[in-house]
Amino acid sequence: MTRTSIAEVKCEKCKTIYEAEVIDHVDLSEDREIVKALKTGKANRVQCSKCKKVMYLDRSIVVNFDPESLIVVYDPNARTKAQKEVLEQEYHNVITFNEILQEVGEETEFTVLSDLSKLKELLDEYTKAHS
């Protein structure tokens, strides 16, 4: 299942501000069609409603590699250790919310990636194992 939300986007070309549907979360066990877009970094493609300029947004996407018990936050902007630690702390805050989430969190590997080539490697391995 792919979860989306509405984000406000400013066009790089004409500076128009518009709303676009963007991907927040992908569960690969339920949606394998998104793999190609993830591997190329083009999952969050938006198009300006005024000038039709196409842009690919650099925003985080949570990728659930179920049944591998692996959750990856791919965020091309999380390049520093401090930025990655913020995302890790947010994950920790979620899993400590209640006992059930805490149990799932203890059984699940969590990592933050900013390098698209590393995400692509994981996606290739997953695709081979679950084709």
The pLDDT tens digits of the residues spanning 59-88 come to 999 999 989 899 999 999 999 999 999 999
Please state, in angstroms and rounded to a whole number, the distance separating the CA atoms of residues 44 and 33.
Answer: 14
Q: 3-state SS string over the chain?
A: CEEEEEEEEECCCCCCEEEEEEEEEEECCCCCCCHHHHHHCCCCEEECCCCCCEEECCCCEEEECCCCCEEEEECCCCCCHHHHHHHHHHHHHHHCCCHHHHHHHHHCEEEEECCHHHHHHHHHHHHHHCC
**Quick one: average pLDDT of 14-43?**
93
Please state, in angstroms and rounded to a whole number, the distance separating the CA atoms of residues 44 and 56.
Answer: 6
What percentage of the chain reaches a pLDDT higher than 70? 99
The pTM of the full predicted model, rounded to 2 decimals, is 0.87
Strands 17-27 and 54-56: unpaired
